Amino acid sequence: MSEVKVSRTGGLLGTEEGKTFSWDKVRQVANPEIVIAFTLFTILMVLAVFGHFLQTHEPMQGDLLKRFTPPGQEGYLFGSDHLGRDLWSRMVDGLQWSMACALTANIINLFIGSTLGLLAAEKPGALRIIVNQFVYTLQSLPGLIILICVVVVVGQGFMTLVLTLGLLSWVVYMRVIYAEASSLFQREYVQAARLAGVSRWSIMFNHVLPGVRASLFVVFAFHFAGLLIAESALSFLGLGAPLGVPTWGNMLAESRQYMIRAPWMLIVPAGAIVMAVVTMNLVGDGVASLSRKKGRSIDV
Amino acid sequence: MVKTVVRIDDLRLEFLSQAGPFEALKGISLEIGEGEIVGVVGESGSGKSVTAMNLLQLLPRTKINVPTGSISVLGHDVQAMNERQLQAIRGGEISMIFQEPMTALNPVLRVKNQIDDVILRHRHVTPKEAEQISLKLLADTKISDPQRVYESFPHELSGGMRQRVMIAMAFSCSPKLIVADEPTTALDVTVQAQILDLLKERARDTKTSVLLITHDLAVVAQLCDRVYVMYKGEFVENGKTSDVIGNPQHVYTRALLNSLPEGKAPKSRLATVSAAMLEGNTGEVIDEPIESVTRIARTGDTILKMQGATVRYPKDYNFFGRPVSFHTAVDHVNLEIKEGETLALVGESGCGKTSLANAVVGLNLLSDGAILYRDKNILDLNEETLREIQIVFQDPQSSLDPRWPVWRIMTEPLTVGKSPGKSELRERAADLCEMVGLENSQIDRLPHEFSGGQRQRIAIGRALSVRPKLLVLDEPTSALDVSVQAQILNLLLDLQDEHGLTYLFISHDVSVVKHIADKVAVMFQSKVVEAGDSDQVLTAPTHEYTRTLMNAVPSLNRAFAA
């Protein structure tokens, strides 16, 4: 068995350059939690990318003769809804829609939040005060209500949703990056670099940013789950995707009337939401534990 | 016939790690008699702390394997005892003083809870009586206001106070044996002197045996009756302190004593342990001293001048956020350094030397006064000239980015304003490695793969990459072992010789300062109380504080005092 070197200062992730991947390292850190998390995540990704090939029916096409078919019968994997549309195929479509929306919004959030976090953490001064006050204000506003207001005013649609979520939900990134970067900017090697005359951008990019990489991954995963829920909530209220587009939230909304008669109409989208959110949370946990510091051995 | 308090016989100990068992102790035998003060001296990694922890069975039993050896403490075979039996003797018959008083004392409990706790556990007294005993113990440790200290939290006390509390706790149940693991390493020199004297006095008064673990031979010289010298898990030499220090038999002991700057010709090359251990040693006494290269300071014009330099930090703020009162860290300091010279700034913690050093490099702004580099105010210098002043920090662990490979760390200053290619940088890094005594093949490695001394070399290499003229060194060897310190001091002297560097050397270690400095300035509570030629200041000081400082420094000669 080759000798596995795990850094004393960091865990597996967010450590250094020149690190080579090795299956030994994977074996060392793989515990049931992480394995399950990444398996589920892979399934989710496969469905998201290749879902179209796995759909059994046309998601928007309803067969009025086959309404409320229970799951497993007549070729409907998850059953059919009140219009005879295949729930499995609709669920896959919903997955793609929700994932695309959440992913794009997440990326926008990441850029806005990290940039502001880094700038505020760099040195005390006017910028730090302004950014902090701005963030406090934003944090004090009720997120969902704002989203609802914006959508009511601007109208529904994919881009609206993405932009609204993207421009308003970045606070968590800013807070996490600000906290971590603040401590990193105080490190002696940053001072040494400053003394040597290294530009502030170089310091931010080459010294501090690699240090917050691990936290960024973790926040990305957890925030993804949050955005999925936000999008579902809005769709449920009828403010997300336009009617008819099969997102999970819409499917939930439609299922309300028929809950007793065809409970699978409720269980399928609800279950899907739960699965996706739990998966992303587990992935976040997994990434966090991979980047945790290893315990010190006894000093001789 | 002196009773034996501790007897260790041929003890071997292995740590069970992922990479296989690691032999920490390779068959050691030790004996402590009643009322004796015995020292175990060695460098980091030698196994001395393991020995101490093992006496009290404080190491996790599942992680170690003891193939052979017996430990008998006060007649008990501690390895055969279970946790309950051990708890009965820990604190009662044996007690321990740890290195870091802050982490050894519980920060959320008042001192009184902690001392009384120990007393009530082992002695059958009422809480009221325990309080009286505690207060008497605190008074015995020469604390001037025992009642106040008794009621305080640990963070309200200074380091020296906390260590006195620890000593009081250690003596509280009249133990037969006290194990002290580097009890004064974290303390200032003057405080260290007081604590050591106190420990010796109390031990003699109560006829308690003491096992003192330390890396500092001078401390051993001052305190211990007998000493064991430890190297890589083995005792290479033992005997009466005056014998071991005055007439060392083993190669390692000789090398250790030779690598101490104390008593050597100033600016001479110090012997290093690795050199001695490599020379196919047969345990023979090597009598000829390693060639001493004495250097004459090549001095020129004044390169750095501090005029009335003052650094103030804001203390209290008013309602609008404006500072209303200040703490003066550096108070109107006037100093001069000539080119090619080494000026040492000596003082204890909190005296302002680091603040002054930071001001020289530009990490702090002066609140008053000016610092002139080659007769120009450093605030007016252009970037290129500013780069002629570089700094080496104290802690090699935190001053290097743990994510960067060494070549990148060393050449970072060269990337300012220009973008040299990667291969060019790697070449330069290889050159720098050679300059500071590292192997070229190491340039792709990360900091954590190096030892402390090597990391400090990397830091020095980084400082040298831009060819500075003035190097500020903030306690560069304080975090290093004695033998490694010797290597770094040799390196610094060589570099100064080759490149005509000027050093501003900050330290609290007087023997190091005596070895490499031409001029010395002593700082006390933000002022420079004495400055002048190093010979004059260190051997014939005029200021009272300097005299206290010099007297407090533990010296090997104390071994021969009565």
Full 3-state SS string of B345-397:
EECCCCCCHHHHHHHHHCCCCCCEEEEEECCEEHHHCCHHHHCCEEEECCCCC
CATH number for B80: 3.40.50.300
The mean per-residue pLDDT over the stretch A221-239 comes to: 87
Higher pLDDT, A216 or B122: A216
| Residue in A208, A297, A298, A299 to test binding to B, most B beta-carbons within 10 Å | A298
Asked if residues A93 and A59 have their Cβ atoms less than 8 Å apart, the reply is: yes
Would you call A300 and B45 a contact, using CB atoms and an 8 Å cutoff?
yes
Whether residue B39 lies inside any domain: the answer is: yes
**In CATH, A32-290 is 3.30.70.3270:** no
A197 CB neighbours in chain B (<8 A) are 383, 386-387, 413, 416-417
The pLDDT of residue B48: 86
Residue B505 has pLDDT above 90, yes or no: yes
CB atoms within 10 A of CB B445: 17
CA B12 to chain centre: 28
Interface of B to A at Cβ within 8 Å reads 15, 17, 19, 24, 44-47, 49-50, 53, 59-60, 63, 361-363, 383, 386-387, 390-391, 393, 395, 398-405, 409, 412-413, 415-417, 444, 446, 448, 459, 462, 466
The pLDDT of residue B275: 60
Would you call A298 and B63 a contact, using CB atoms and an 8 Å cutoff?
yes
pLDDT tens digit string along B225-256?
999 999 888 999 999 998 998 888 888 888 88
Alpha helices in B141-175 (DSSP H): 146-151, 159-171
The pLDDT of residue A129: 92
Measured CA to CA in angstroms, residue B242 lies from A158, B31, B75 at distances of: 85, 18, 29
pLDDT tens digit string along B426-484?
999 999 998 888 888 888 888 888 888 888 899 999 999 988 999 999 988 887 888 88
B363 CB neighbours in chain A (<8 A) are 191, 194-195
Whole-structure pTM value: 0.76
| Residue in B403, B409, B410 to test binding to A, most A beta-carbons within 10 Å | B403
Quick one: DSSP state of residue B64? Answer: E
Whether residue B273 lies inside any domain: the answer is: no
Whether residue B411 lies inside any domain: the answer is: no
B415 CB neighbours in chain A (<8 A) are 198, 202
Quick one: DSSP state of residue A262? Answer: -
The pLDDT of residue B159: 78
Sorted by sequence, the CB contacts under 8 Å of residue B133 that are 6+ apart come out as: B119, B123, B125, B172
Residue A187 has pLDDT above 60, yes or no: yes
Question: Pick from B60, B383, B399: which is nearest to A188 by CB?
Answer: B399
Whether residue B304 lies inside any domain: the answer is: no
- Put residue B162 in one of left, alpha, beta given phi > 0 → left and psi -120 to 50 → alpha: alpha
Q: Which long-range contacts (CB under 8 A, 24 or more apart) does B194-203 make?
A: B194/B142, B194/B160, B194/B552, B195/B160, B195/B163, B195/B164, B195/B167, B196/B222, B196/B223, B196/B554, B198/B141, B198/B142, B198/B164, B198/B167, B199/B167, B199/B223, B200/B37, B202/B140, B202/B141, B202/B167, B202/B171, B203/B35, B203/B37, B203/B178
The pLDDT of residue B379: 85
How would residue B73 be classed by pLDDT, with cut points 50, 70 and 90?
A: confident
CB contact residues (below 8 A), chain A span 279-298, against chain B = 297-298
Lowest mean per-residue pLDDT among A120-129, B85-94, B108-117: B85-94
CB atoms within 10 A of CB B415: 19
The pLDDT of residue B2: 65
Measured CA to CA in angstroms, residue B506 lies from A126, B65, B146, B238, B476 at distances of: 35, 44, 35, 35, 8
The mean per-residue pLDDT over the stretch B19-47 comes to: 87
In chain B, pLDDT over 70 holds for what percent of residues? 94
pLDDT tens digit string along B548-562?
888 888 887 776 764
- Put residue B142 in one of left, alpha, beta given phi > 0 → left and psi -120 to 50 → alpha: left
Question: Pick from A17, A194, A300: which is nearest to B403 by CB?
Answer: A17
Q: Which residue of B has its CA nearest to A184?
A: B401
Would you call A195 and B395 a contact, using CB atoms and an 8 Å cutoff?
no
The pLDDT of residue B274: 67
B61 CB neighbours in chain A (<8 A) are none
Would you call B401 and A207 a contact, using CB atoms and an 8 Å cutoff?
yes
**Tokens 């250790």 appear where?**
B256
Question: Pick from A189, A202, A211: which is nearest to B400 by CB?
Answer: A189
Whether residue B221 lies inside any domain: the answer is: yes
Q: Is A203 on the interface with B (CB under 8 A)?
A: no
Q: Which residue of A has its CA nearest to B384?
A: A197
Average pLDDT, rounded, for chain B: 85
Chain B nearest-CA distance from A89, in A, is 47
The structural domains of chain A, with segments of one domain joined by +, span: 32-290
How would residue B285 be classed by pLDDT, with cut points 50, 70 and 90?
A: very low
pLDDT tens digit string along B98-152?
877 777 888 889 998 999 988 888 888 899 999 999 999 888 888 878 888 899 8
Whether residue B88 lies inside any domain: the answer is: yes
The mean per-residue pLDDT over the stretch A94-99 comes to: 88
How would residue B298 be classed by pLDDT, with cut points 50, 70 and 90?
A: low
Asked if residues B193 and B216 have their Cβ atoms less than 8 Å apart, the reply is: no
Residue B278 has pLDDT above 60, yes or no: no
Lowest mean per-residue pLDDT among A17-26, A74-83, A122-131, B189-198: A17-26
Asked if residues B515 and B507 have their Cβ atoms less than 8 Å apart, the reply is: no
How would residue B506 be classed by pLDDT, with cut points 50, 70 and 90?
A: very high
Q: Which residue of B has its CA nearest to A1?
A: B19
The pLDDT of residue A11: 44
Whether residue B236 lies inside any domain: the answer is: yes
Whether residue B54 lies inside any domain: the answer is: yes
- Give me the interface pTM, i.e. the ipTM: 0.71
Q: Which residue of B has its CA nearest to A7?
A: B448
Chain B nearest-CA distance from A42, in A, is 29
Would you call B46 and A300 a contact, using CB atoms and an 8 Å cutoff?
yes
Average pLDDT, rounded, for chain A: 82
Residue B504 has pLDDT above 70, yes or no: yes
Give the number of domains in chain B: 1
The pLDDT of residue B179: 92
Residue A179 has pLDDT above 90, yes or no: yes
Q: Which residue of A has its CA nearest to B44?
A: A300
Domain that holds residue B192: 4-106+174-247
Q: Which residue of B has its CA nearest to A191?
A: B363
Alpha helices in chain A (DSSP H): 23-29, 32-54, 87-122, 126-140, 143-154, 158-168, 171-185, 188-196, 200-203, 209-236, 248-255, 264-290
How would residue A116 be classed by pLDDT, with cut points 50, 70 and 90?
A: very high
Would you call A189 and B399 a contact, using CB atoms and an 8 Å cutoff?
yes
| Residue in A195, A202, A203, A207 to test binding to B, most B beta-carbons within 10 Å | A195
The mean per-residue pLDDT over the stretch A80-99 comes to: 88
pLDDT tens digit string along A270-282?
999 999 999 999 9
Asked if residues B152 and B110 have their Cβ atoms less than 8 Å apart, the reply is: yes
